[in-house]
Amino acid sequence: MSAFERFLESFFNPKLMLRYWPDIAQGMLVTVEIALAVLASGLALGLGLALARSYRIAPVSAAIVVFVDVFRALPPLVLILIIYFGLPSVGVNLSAFAVLWLVLSLVLAAFAEEAIWAGILSVRRGQWDAARSTGLGFGQALIHVVLPQAVRLAIPPLTNRTIAITKNTALGTVIGVGEVINQAQTAVSFSGNATPLMMAAVGYLAIFAPVVALGAFIEKRFAWRRA
Protein backbone atom coordinates (compact mmCIF):
# COMPACT_ATOMS: atom_id res chain seq x y z
CA MET A 1 0.00 0.00 0.00
CA SER A 2 1.49 3.29 -1.06
CA ALA A 3 1.58 6.30 1.23
CA PHE A 4 -1.12 7.95 -0.83
CA GLU A 5 -3.38 4.91 -0.56
CA ARG A 6 -2.82 4.86 3.20
CA PHE A 7 -3.73 8.53 3.30
CA LEU A 8 -6.94 7.91 1.38
CA GLU A 9 -7.68 4.87 3.53
CA SER A 10 -7.48 6.80 6.79
CA PHE A 11 -9.06 10.13 5.73
CA PHE A 12 -11.38 9.35 2.83
CA ASN A 13 -12.48 5.80 3.33
CA PRO A 14 -15.54 5.24 1.09
CA LYS A 15 -16.91 2.36 3.15
CA LEU A 16 -16.91 4.45 6.32
CA MET A 17 -18.37 7.40 4.46
CA LEU A 18 -21.25 5.25 3.39
CA ARG A 19 -21.75 3.86 6.88
CA TYR A 20 -21.58 7.17 8.78
CA TRP A 21 -23.12 9.70 6.47
CA PRO A 22 -26.58 9.51 8.12
CA ASP A 23 -25.00 10.28 11.52
CA ILE A 24 -23.00 13.16 10.10
CA ALA A 25 -26.06 14.52 8.31
CA GLN A 26 -28.02 14.29 11.54
CA GLY A 27 -25.22 16.20 13.29
CA MET A 28 -25.20 18.85 10.60
CA LEU A 29 -28.91 19.34 11.10
CA VAL A 30 -28.38 19.88 14.83
CA THR A 31 -25.52 22.29 14.12
CA VAL A 32 -27.71 24.29 11.75
CA GLU A 33 -30.53 24.36 14.28
CA ILE A 34 -28.31 25.67 17.07
CA ALA A 35 -26.61 28.14 14.78
CA LEU A 36 -29.93 29.59 13.61
CA ALA A 37 -31.32 29.76 17.12
CA VAL A 38 -28.15 31.48 18.37
CA LEU A 39 -28.20 33.88 15.45
CA ALA A 40 -31.80 34.94 16.05
CA SER A 41 -31.71 35.31 19.82
CA GLY A 42 -28.13 36.63 20.05
CA LEU A 43 -28.65 39.39 17.49
CA ALA A 44 -32.07 40.31 18.90
CA LEU A 45 -30.73 40.55 22.43
CA GLY A 46 -27.65 42.49 21.31
CA LEU A 47 -29.84 44.95 19.43
CA GLY A 48 -32.13 45.34 22.43
CA LEU A 49 -29.18 46.01 24.73
CA ALA A 50 -27.68 48.60 22.36
CA LEU A 51 -31.03 50.38 22.19
CA ALA A 52 -31.39 50.27 25.97
CA ARG A 53 -27.89 51.71 26.33
CA SER A 54 -28.83 54.62 24.04
CA TYR A 55 -31.08 56.02 26.72
CA ARG A 56 -27.99 56.55 28.86
CA ILE A 57 -29.60 55.62 32.15
CA ALA A 58 -26.49 55.19 34.30
CA PRO A 59 -27.31 51.95 36.17
CA VAL A 60 -28.70 50.32 33.01
CA SER A 61 -25.63 51.27 30.99
CA ALA A 62 -23.32 50.06 33.75
CA ALA A 63 -25.10 46.69 33.89
CA ILE A 64 -24.86 46.33 30.11
CA VAL A 65 -21.14 47.17 30.15
CA VAL A 66 -20.49 44.55 32.84
CA PHE A 67 -22.49 41.93 30.93
CA VAL A 68 -20.74 42.71 27.66
CA ASP A 69 -17.26 42.69 29.18
CA VAL A 70 -17.81 39.42 31.04
CA PHE A 71 -19.22 37.59 28.04
CA ARG A 72 -16.59 38.94 25.68
CA ALA A 73 -13.75 38.12 28.05
CA LEU A 74 -14.66 34.56 29.10
CA PRO A 75 -14.02 31.69 26.69
CA PRO A 76 -17.41 30.23 25.71
CA LEU A 77 -16.18 26.79 26.76
CA VAL A 78 -15.76 27.97 30.35
CA LEU A 79 -19.30 29.32 30.39
CA ILE A 80 -20.69 26.14 28.89
CA LEU A 81 -18.99 23.97 31.50
CA ILE A 82 -19.98 26.21 34.39
CA ILE A 83 -23.61 26.33 33.39
CA TYR A 84 -23.94 22.72 32.33
CA PHE A 85 -22.23 21.23 35.37
CA GLY A 86 -22.97 24.02 37.86
CA LEU A 87 -26.66 24.80 37.43
CA PRO A 88 -28.00 21.33 38.28
CA SER A 89 -26.52 21.69 41.78
CA VAL A 90 -28.80 24.68 42.37
CA GLY A 91 -31.75 22.78 40.99
CA VAL A 92 -31.82 24.12 37.42
CA ASN A 93 -31.62 21.40 34.83
CA LEU A 94 -31.13 22.55 31.28
CA SER A 95 -30.59 20.23 28.38
CA ALA A 96 -27.17 20.27 26.76
CA PHE A 97 -28.76 21.82 23.67
CA ALA A 98 -30.33 24.60 25.78
CA VAL A 99 -27.04 25.34 27.58
CA LEU A 100 -25.14 25.60 24.31
CA TRP A 101 -27.82 27.81 22.81
CA LEU A 102 -27.98 30.03 25.89
CA VAL A 103 -24.22 30.55 26.21
CA LEU A 104 -23.59 31.22 22.55
CA SER A 105 -26.60 33.55 22.37
CA LEU A 106 -25.30 35.56 25.31
CA VAL A 107 -21.80 35.72 23.82
CA LEU A 108 -23.13 36.81 20.43
CA ALA A 109 -25.41 39.33 22.15
CA ALA A 110 -22.42 40.84 23.95
CA PHE A 111 -20.47 41.28 20.71
CA ALA A 112 -23.54 42.45 18.79
CA GLU A 113 -24.29 45.04 21.46
CA GLU A 114 -20.75 46.39 21.18
CA ALA A 115 -20.86 46.56 17.38
CA ILE A 116 -24.28 48.20 17.21
CA TRP A 117 -23.50 50.58 20.06
CA ALA A 118 -20.32 51.64 18.28
CA GLY A 119 -22.46 52.18 15.18
CA ILE A 120 -24.94 54.31 17.11
CA LEU A 121 -22.10 56.41 18.54
CA SER A 122 -20.58 56.99 15.13
CA VAL A 123 -23.75 58.40 13.60
CA ARG A 124 -23.09 62.09 13.43
CA ARG A 125 -24.79 64.38 15.88
CA GLY A 126 -26.36 66.36 13.03
CA GLN A 127 -28.59 63.36 12.29
CA TRP A 128 -30.03 63.54 15.79
CA ASP A 129 -30.34 67.32 15.52
CA ALA A 130 -32.21 67.12 12.23
CA ALA A 131 -34.57 64.41 13.46
CA ARG A 132 -35.29 66.10 16.78
CA SER A 133 -35.73 69.50 15.10
CA THR A 134 -38.65 68.10 13.10
CA GLY A 135 -40.38 67.00 16.30
CA LEU A 136 -39.39 63.34 16.39
CA GLY A 137 -38.99 62.09 19.95
CA PHE A 138 -35.77 60.50 21.15
CA GLY A 139 -37.03 56.96 20.54
CA GLN A 140 -38.37 57.83 17.10
CA ALA A 141 -35.10 59.49 16.08
CA LEU A 142 -33.24 56.44 17.37
CA ILE A 143 -35.38 53.90 15.52
CA HIS A 144 -36.03 55.70 12.25
CA VAL A 145 -32.91 57.78 11.72
CA VAL A 146 -29.96 56.62 13.81
CA LEU A 147 -30.42 52.85 14.05
CA PRO A 148 -30.67 52.16 10.30
CA GLN A 149 -27.36 53.96 9.86
CA ALA A 150 -25.79 52.35 12.92
CA VAL A 151 -26.72 48.85 11.77
CA ARG A 152 -25.15 49.44 8.38
CA LEU A 153 -21.94 50.55 10.08
CA ALA A 154 -22.10 47.53 12.37
CA ILE A 155 -22.62 44.94 9.64
CA PRO A 156 -18.97 44.22 8.72
CA PRO A 157 -17.79 43.54 12.30
CA LEU A 158 -21.07 41.82 13.03
CA THR A 159 -20.93 39.32 10.17
CA ASN A 160 -17.40 38.27 11.15
CA ARG A 161 -18.39 37.87 14.77
CA THR A 162 -21.57 36.03 13.93
CA ILE A 163 -19.69 33.49 11.83
CA ALA A 164 -17.02 33.03 14.51
CA ILE A 165 -19.57 32.47 17.26
CA THR A 166 -21.88 30.17 15.35
CA LYS A 167 -18.85 28.00 14.55
CA ASN A 168 -18.49 27.59 18.32
CA THR A 169 -21.46 25.24 18.16
CA ALA A 170 -18.64 22.64 17.94
CA LEU A 171 -18.09 23.22 21.67
CA GLY A 172 -21.37 21.42 22.25
CA THR A 173 -19.51 18.19 21.83
CA VAL A 174 -17.96 18.47 25.32
CA ILE A 175 -21.40 18.35 26.94
CA GLY A 176 -22.73 15.78 24.51
CA VAL A 177 -24.86 17.87 22.16
CA GLY A 178 -25.30 15.67 19.10
CA GLU A 179 -23.98 18.21 16.67
CA VAL A 180 -21.73 17.35 13.78
CA ILE A 181 -18.40 17.11 15.63
CA ASN A 182 -19.96 15.01 18.35
CA GLN A 183 -21.34 12.60 15.77
CA ALA A 184 -17.99 12.50 14.00
CA GLN A 185 -16.04 11.80 17.18
CA THR A 186 -18.35 8.99 18.11
CA ALA A 187 -17.87 7.55 14.65
CA VAL A 188 -14.08 7.93 14.97
CA SER A 189 -13.99 6.06 18.24
CA PHE A 190 -15.97 3.19 16.73
CA SER A 191 -14.11 3.02 13.45
CA GLY A 192 -10.61 4.04 14.55
CA ASN A 193 -10.38 6.08 11.39
CA ALA A 194 -10.30 9.85 10.73
CA THR A 195 -12.73 9.72 7.81
CA PRO A 196 -15.79 10.85 9.85
CA LEU A 197 -13.88 13.94 10.98
CA MET A 198 -13.11 14.79 7.36
CA MET A 199 -16.78 14.37 6.63
CA ALA A 200 -17.57 16.73 9.49
CA ALA A 201 -15.09 19.25 8.05
CA VAL A 202 -16.82 19.02 4.68
CA GLY A 203 -20.12 19.43 6.51
CA TYR A 204 -18.86 22.63 8.15
CA LEU A 205 -17.76 23.91 4.77
CA ALA A 206 -21.18 23.17 3.36
CA ILE A 207 -22.84 25.05 6.19
CA PHE A 208 -20.49 27.99 6.65
CA ALA A 209 -19.09 28.71 3.20
CA PRO A 210 -22.51 30.02 2.09
CA VAL A 211 -22.74 32.01 5.33
CA VAL A 212 -19.36 33.62 4.65
CA ALA A 213 -20.46 34.40 1.09
CA LEU A 214 -23.75 35.78 2.38
CA GLY A 215 -21.83 37.97 4.86
CA ALA A 216 -19.70 39.40 2.06
CA PHE A 217 -22.84 40.02 0.02
CA ILE A 218 -24.58 41.78 2.91
CA GLU A 219 -21.53 43.95 3.53
CA LYS A 220 -21.50 45.03 -0.11
CA ARG A 221 -25.22 45.49 -0.28
CA PHE A 222 -25.30 47.80 2.74
CA ALA A 223 -22.11 49.72 2.10
CA TRP A 224 -23.56 53.00 0.94
CA ARG A 225 -21.89 56.32 0.73
CA ARG A 226 -22.40 58.91 3.40
CA ALA A 227 -24.07 62.02 2.09
Partner 1 sequence: MTSGPLAANGAERPILQVRGLVKRFGALEVLKGIDFAVAPQELVFVIGPSGSGKSTLLRCCNRLEEPDEGSIMVDGVELTDPRCDINAMRRRIGMVFQSFNLYPHLSALRNVTLALRKVLRKSRREADEIGRAALARVGLSDKVAAYPAELSGGQQQRVAIARALSLEPKIMLFDEPTSALDPELVGSVLATMRDMRESGLTMVVVSHEMRFARDAADRVVFMDGGRIVEEGTPEKIFTAPENPRARAFVAEIAR
User: Coil, strand, or helix at residue 219?
Assistant: helix
Choose between 49 and 147: whose C-beta lies nearer to partner 1: 147
Nearer to partner 1, 80 or 145 (CB): 145
Could you give the C-alpha distances from 121 to 38, 96, 127, 216, in angstroms and in order?
26, 37, 11, 24
Contacts with partner 1, 151-170, as mask; x by CB under 8 A: -x------------------
Distance, in Å, from the CA atom of 172 to the CA atom of 16, rounded to the nearest integer, reads 24
- Sequence letter at residue 205: L
Secondary structure (DSSP) of 73-141: HS-HHHHHHHHHHHGGGGT----HHHHHHHHHHHHHHHHHHHHHHHHHHHS-HHHHHHHHHTT--HHHH
Q: What are phi and psi of 78, to 5 degrees?
A: -60, -45
Q: Which amino acid does the sequence have at 188?
A: V
3-state secondary structure of 177: coil
56 makes contact with partner 1 (CB under 8 A) = no
- For partner 1, the closer of residues 192 and 225 by Cβ is 225
- Subset of 91-150 contacting partner 1 (CB under 8 A): 124, 126-127, 129-137, 140, 144-145, 148-149
**Binding flag, residue 227, partner 1 (CB under 8 A):** yes
224 belongs to the binding site for partner 1 (CB under 8 A): yes
Nearer to partner 1, 59 or 126 (CB): 126
Give the x/- contact pattern for partner 1 in 165-204, rule: CB under 8 A.
----------------------------------------
**Site residues (CB under 8 A) for partner 1?**
124, 126-127, 129-137, 140, 144-145, 148-149, 152, 224-227
